[in-house]
Amino acid sequence: MSGLKVVALISGGKDSFFSILHCIANGHDVVALANLHPPLKHGKEAVEDLDSYMYQTVGHAVIPLYEQALGLPLYRQGIVGAALNQDKSYGPATGLADADEDETESLIPLLRKVKAAHPEVNAVSTGAIMSDYQRTRVESVALRLGLTPLSYLWQWPSLPPRTQASLLEDMAGVGQDSRIIKVASGGLDESFLWQNVADRRTVARLTKAAQRFGSSTDGAVLGEGGEYETLAVDGPGPLWKASIVLEEDHRRVVRGEAGSVALHLREPRLIPKSKSEEDTAAPRIPPLLDPVFADMLGRLRTGATESQDTSDPLPAESTHFDMAASMYTDGVARLLSGRTGDGQTVAAQMQSIMESLTTDTSNLLPHAGLASIIYTTIILRNMADFAAINPIYGSYFTSPNPPARVTIACANVLPDGCDVMVGVTCLYSPSLYGAAERHALHVQSRSYWAPANIGPYSQAVTLPISSGTEAGHIVYIAGQIPLVPASMALASSGIGLVSHDHALQTVLALQHLCRIGEAMSVRRWIAAVAFVTHSSSDSTPTLPQMARRAWLALFNSEPETHNEADEAEDFDVWNITHRAGHGALQAQGTEPNGPPAFTKHDPPPMWVVRVDALPRGASIEWVGYGTTKDDIPSSEIRHLHYFLNVFRQRIL
């Protein structure tokens, strides 16, 4: 796969520069740097430290030197406006009347300037690690400009070896030198200023501070809540052509509000590197599989796992859910199943279906309309028709966090003359339209974590189990196929054995399901469906057997500790910190040992269903349902009933 041409957004901080190294390690070509600086004061002098929710501005006077230090053209633009839209997720549809005055929109003229000078640019790199607030804003702008967002550091603390310190250790491993230039937390003081954040002693001190005032799981060690800010002054060759030096008498301590302390920097200078200094190691790339799933893969390939069929079906009375009824309402959920449309083409039928939902006069959808939909399934007669229906579907979901979605092709389950059928589950109870009751995850950046969802569907969306919040939420997760997250290519063992490819794809797609479940605070799995495309003669053991073995192995792995603090759903340190102002770290819990994060219990029911085709030519797609608190039976998932009835003749 050919590499992308990347413009790297830089703030001066450690993460944006380390992300550049990972862009290069993944075969991309970084052709330009871009930076937003504070507005000019009195026409010529910029504000030293703008209180921005989005952009780091302290130390901005050093930014111009990066052009020479890295040998890359630098483009800059002043920040205009303020954080008018303070929602966790961002998109044009969520903006206010004067959306252009939101500080996020300052990225648009900056990136347009870069594209004008470098028409080949087709991707943008950012250093986002845990903040949905920052990531979704960059994604919104990038995708509107036709740029692929790259966030290779996203969810780094949840990747092997699953410690926050690992990111700082990896920075030290390649020789990146980033100095702390501001502290804004009760756990940090002036003594941290100008320390290399990746130095072993500094990492130990940051970890100790997090244990006292925060936790090693909430991003405090990495400064994700604004606890501190950094300035990169050196790094590995051949990226860094020179080091940035600031003499001690050119670093002045400035005390700010709420106990914050920063350095005012002046007269920085460059020291060119010698050729010998350019020979450095590439950054460590996290392994594709967590240890639990790597062990699972080995067991599948060797056949060590018992071939136990875990497809415990629903009770007979539950599987006879009335398919003739196109609507089923139960508490807070409403299912509209088997929706078909008029027209001679698949595009016309899809348009008809969406219009019928939008202009419904029978009150099938509640008054919130399409915004109430949390989960959709699309069944096509031919997967080749996906390109025709996807833009139509997407045009009806323009707000951030569209419904989670499953797409499959299976001709013989569709009525005659029907090329596409849609089922939706929506939030029905009129009292539950508040954003607090609908949590979603929509990551559109490439990373090492899980596949990016570029387009009109979220990785997961939740639905309240009941009208009270104590019972928790059901988590509906989008269908997961075995894409390598960093490249978005279909996973392959590379050794030409079908059975090995099937084993890798089975495990990788299941890991995606679990990582998304962990991010959505899933504590118990309710049920799963593995859609497969290959016949039983394709490999030994068969793909259906592999899917069942993998599901069983997931619940037979070693138990993990459970972090009670993680039960706070919709938790975003950056967003919470800035909404409340710069404050001290908040006490949290302890760090879990590793995946999977759900509470161990007996394997829930799972089914294997053979279909004609899956997206991207995948051989398996995992569909899963979880709960954030209480255990509930799979019979409560009405959309699962719908699936089982549609595919009742194709369950293996």
Q: Examine the domain organization and report whether 130 and 265 are in the same domain.
A: yes
CATH of the domain at 176: 3.40.50.620
Q: What share of the chain is helix, strand, coil (3-state, %, to 5)?
A: 35, 20, 45
Residue 506 inside a domain? The answer is yes
Q: Residue 136 belongs to what domain range? A: 5-278
Q: Examine the domain organization and report whether 477 and 604 are in the same domain.
A: yes
pLDDT score for 189? 92
Contacts for 18 with CB less than 8 Å, ≥ 6 apart = 127, 153, 167, 170, 171, 176, 283
Residue with tokens 């959306």: 99
Q: In sequence order, which ranges of 118-197 are alpha helices (DSSP H)? A: 132-144, 165-173
CATH of the domain at 379: 3.30.1330.40
Q: Examine the domain organization and report whether 234 and 311 are in the same domain.
A: no
Beta strands in 214-275 (DSSP E): 228-234, 242-245, 251-255, 261-265, 269-272
CA dihedral 569, 573, 575, 579 (to 10 degrees): 100
Instruction: Report residues of the chain scoring pLDDT below 70.
Output: 1, 40-57, 81-83, 86-87, 92-100, 213-217, 276-280, 304-331, 360-364, 366-367, 429-437, 467-471, 496, 535-541, 557-600
Residue 574 inside a domain? The answer is no
Q: Examine the domain organization and report whether 104 and 73 are in the same domain.
A: yes
Q: How many domains does the chain have?
A: 2
Q: Which of 133, 234, 225 is nearest to 179 (CA)?
A: 234
Contacts for 406 with CB less than 8 Å, ≥ 6 apart = 376, 377, 378, 478, 479, 621, 623
pLDDT score for 530? 97
pLDDT score for 155? 96
pLDDT score for 124? 98
Q: Examine the domain organization and report whether 235 and 346 are in the same domain.
A: no
Q: Examine the domain organization and report whether 270 and 299 are in the same domain.
A: no
Residue 418 inside a domain? The answer is yes
pLDDT score for 160? 94
Strands 620-627 and 524-532: antiparallel
Residue 651 inside a domain? The answer is no
Q: Examine the domain organization and report whether 328 and 270 are in the same domain.
A: no
Q: Examine the domain organization and report whether 267 and 347 are in the same domain.
A: no
pLDDT score for 535? 58
Q: What are the tokens at 137?
A: 């804003």
DSSP 595: S
Q: Examine the domain organization and report whether 55 and 204 are in the same domain.
A: yes
Residue 625 inside a domain? The answer is yes
The last residue of a domain, from among 255, 278, 301: 278
The last residue of a domain, from among 257, 278, 299: 278
Q: Please give the distance of CA 397 from its chain centroid, rounded to a whole number.
A: 19
Q: Note the pLDDT tens digit of each residue in 316-370.
A: 434 444 444 455 565 678 888 899 999 999 999 999 999 998 876 556 676 678 8
Q: What are the tokens at 115?
A: 């594209």
Q: Examine the domain organization and report whether 396 and 519 are in the same domain.
A: yes
CA dihedral 28, 32, 37, 41 (to 10 degrees): 180
Q: Which of 38, 33, 62 is nearest to 48 (CA)?
A: 38
Q: Examine the domain organization and report whether 404 and 429 are in the same domain.
A: yes
The last residue of a domain, from among 230, 254, 278: 278
Q: Examine the domain organization and report whether 377 and 503 are in the same domain.
A: yes
